[in-house]
Amino acid sequence: MRLRLSNIRQSFGGNELFSIPEVTLQSGQAVHLHGANGTGKSTLMKIMAGLQTPTKGTVERLFNAGVKPNRQAVIYLHQQTYLFDTHVRANVEYGLKLRRENNPDKVDEALQWAQLDHIQKRAAHHLSGGERQRLALARALVLDPQIILLDEPSSNLDGSSRERIQSMLVDLQKKGTGYLLACHQNTLTSACCDQHWYLEEGKLRVD
């Protein structure tokens, strides 16, 4: 799958935040989105995920031949992880239930992948910061996304938690899932990315 942005412009109150002629993100890619606070990283990711409509421009989801379009093909994970007020397993099951899919084996696999299977009945609000991020990734994984957009996933995490998140993202890429990682500093996780986007002074530069 390719996610293509064309002639994107975002303005607030008549002031232009950024203007992007064209950029493409595809499944299997690992991209680090650089940018200082206030440059519009989160806004850009929400536009890419279809959660926000740009002032101008188009966002296209181009699926490979034979691949069934999936509403959850692109998933955005907020910086402040939102979890439902229930236990860990129910959080992972939630998206599947919405699309009326009963697949306990798939839930088991996601919990094991995130190393949360031993605490699957624990209330989500009792999780640590690292556990919450891993749960968010597990909840995304069961929906078979092509691309995951992560907004500052390593902020306020200790070294061990960052290493686990890094390992999970590397594994996602091996599975063929692409991801865009937004953070304004270089981290162990961003060091694994094979492309870098720089959002500066309203423009996006790709290296």
Rounded to 10 deg, the angle between the 159-174 and 129-141 helix axes is: 10
Distance of CA 167 to the CA centre of its chain: 15
Q: What is the CATH number of domain 2-84+130-206?
A: 3.40.50.300
Residue type, 157: L
Determine whether 104 is exposed, middle or buried from the number of CB atoms within 10 Å of its CB (0-12, 13-18, 19+): exposed
**Mean pLDDT, residues 86-93 taken together:** 97
Sorting pLDDT into bands at 50, 70 and 90, what band is 154?
Answer: confident
CA distance 95 to 104: 13
Query: According to the 3-state scheme, what is the secondary structure of 54-66?
Result: CCEEEEEEECCCC
Sorting pLDDT into bands at 50, 70 and 90, what band is 93?
Answer: very high
Sorting pLDDT into bands at 50, 70 and 90, what band is 70?
Answer: confident
The angle formed by the CA atoms of residues 1, 166 and 147, to the nearest 5 degrees, is 15
What average pLDDT is seen over the chain?
92
Sorting pLDDT into bands at 50, 70 and 90, what band is 71?
Answer: confident
**What is the pLDDT at residue 185?**
67
**131 or 79: which leads in pLDDT:** 131
Sign of the C-alpha dihedral, residues 169, 191, 7, 10?
Answer: positive
| pLDDT surpassing 90 at residue 157 | no
**What is the pLDDT at residue 187?**
67
**Mean pLDDT, residues 67-83 taken together:** 88
The pTM of the full predicted model, rounded to 2 decimals, is: 0.94
CA distance 65 to 52: 27
Over residues 159-200, the pLDDT tens digits come to 788 888 888 999 999 999 999 999 866 766 677 799 999 999
Beta bridge partners of 5: 23, 59
Q: Which of 57-66, 82-91, 150-159 has the lowest mean pLDDT?
A: 150-159
Sorting pLDDT into bands at 50, 70 and 90, what band is 42?
Answer: very high
**76 or 158: which leads in pLDDT:** 76
Over residues 11-23, the pLDDT tens digits come to 999 899 999 999 9
**What is the pLDDT at residue 191?**
73
List the chain domain ranges: 2-84+130-206
171-207: b (≥16 Cβ within 10 Å) or e: ebbeeebbbbbbbeeebebbebbeeebebeeeebeee
